[in-house]
Amino acid sequence: MKLWKLLLLVVGLCCQSFACQPPPTQPPITIDTIPKPLWSQARAGGGIAYGWFPQFIHNNALITYKIGQGGAIFAALNIITGQEIWSWSDLFTKHEATTDGVHVFENILIWRNVRRVYAIDLLSGKTIWRQNIVSNIGFNTDYIAGLGNRFLIHTWYPTYFTGFTRTGNIHTSPVLTPNIRTNHSATTIFLNAPPNLLPEAHQNDTLAILPYGTPVGESASFFTVYNVTQNKEVYTKTIPGDTSGAFSYPPLVHNSKIYFPAGAFILCFDLKTGNELWRKSFGSIFFQSGLVIYNNKIYCNNNDGFSYCIDPENGNKLWQTRTAGGGSLPFFLNGVVYFTSVANGRLYGLDANDGKILMNIEDPRGGIGFQDVVTGTGDKIFAATYTTLYCFKAVR
């Protein structure tokens, strides 16, 4: 090798190792975009609060769920400071709260755990009544549907326990008698009043939509419109085709139509006739999220990782936004749709008009992440992890 080439090689290696090497790339500056909570509170004395409960606002207090050594604890918290107003833990036996739905009427909270039903005074935190249903009938969920002074509990079998909010009087009615063994799902109750009016019922009768399906492996599903006031069936419809699973969440009644999240489908039926109006399929099932309707638009989260806004008249998608799977039931506040995702543990806020992501944050304390439904009022939203309850300033 010529001397000058050797000299260039040595110089080049020296430059590569020392001064001629470009400066190392600086790590990107991480900007903490997690908003500082207005306040936070431990949910289990430093431990983990398993179970779930649809926290809500009542009389300017946050009604939420915690846990102690004796099991479930419900508490009313001051929405401004987070200070506890009252707590309740009058359980039949030690157990968690695992309920997707509760009923509230005249300052009374009704919730259930399997066959145990509790009524709590939301102003004082005292027990109004509690009932342990004695029956050999199996119960498959902790959901409860209610309207005013009536509530409805479904079981594995074609039996529905109905009760009265004020007194706790519970009896096994109505009872359906299909020709096949059925798996019942969450129900909904509504008032027979315009625009949701059935001519077969009297004005202001309490009506119920009772969905049920055949055992696993068979595709047929059914729903019955039942008059709870008169204790009689209005009509029963068979849903044709494979809806990819049983009804996962309660139906909605809106503007004389019935909407079901069923497996990977949303189904729409005419309330008066029970005839199917439209059905739309999605990439996956509605695992965590049912349907909500705000301003005549359907909002929902599918397990395909997208959040959707849907036209209730025809099922067309008005927008869809990639978020994450396992999204909770959406909550609407000031034009923003909030929810949590069990897939990535994040708290989302989407513009209800176009689906633009306005909030996408992690648990400020790290760990498992957000779970359960979001609620809020005014300029505040409330979201929880398994360890901590947070109050954040709302996006709007």
In a domain, 396, yes or no: yes
The CATH number assigned to the domain holding 306 equals: 2.40.10.480
Q: What is the pLDDT of residue 16?
A: 33
Question: What is the SS3 string spanning 290-333?
Answer: CCEEECCEEEEECCCCEEEEECCCCCCEEEEEECCCCECCCEEE
Q: Cis (ω within 30 of 0) for the bond into 174?
A: yes
The torsion angles phi and psi of 17, rounded to 5 degrees, stand at -90, -25
More confident residue, 208 or 176: 208
In a domain, 317, yes or no: yes
In a domain, 57, yes or no: no
pLDDT in tens, 80-104: 999 999 999 999 998 888 887 899 9
| Structural domain total, the chain | 1
- Average pLDDT of the segment spanning 248-263: 90
Pick the closest to residue 209 from 182, 183, 190 (CA basis): 190
With tokens 């300033």, the residue in question is 393
Q: What is the pLDDT of residue 45?
A: 75
Of 7-11, 148-152, 174-178, 327-331, the poorest mean pLDDT is in 7-11
Rounded Cα gap, residues 38 and 367, in angstroms: 20
With tokens 């309920």, the residue in question is 99
In a domain, 301, yes or no: yes
Rounded Cα gap, residues 254 and 256, in angstroms: 6
Whether pTM > 0.85 for this model: the answer is yes
Q: Which domain holds residue 42?
A: 35-51+292-396
Q: What is the pLDDT of residue 180?
A: 62
In a domain, 327, yes or no: yes
In a domain, 351, yes or no: yes
| 323, two tokens | 């978020």
In a domain, 245, yes or no: no
Number of H helices, E strands in the chain: 1, 33
pLDDT in tens, 193-236: 999 999 989 999 999 998 887 665 455 688 899 999 999 999 99
In a domain, 333, yes or no: yes
Rounded Cα gap, residues 107 and 91, in angstroms: 19
Q: What is the pLDDT of residue 306?
A: 96
Q: CB 353: neighbour CB atoms within 10 A? A: 14
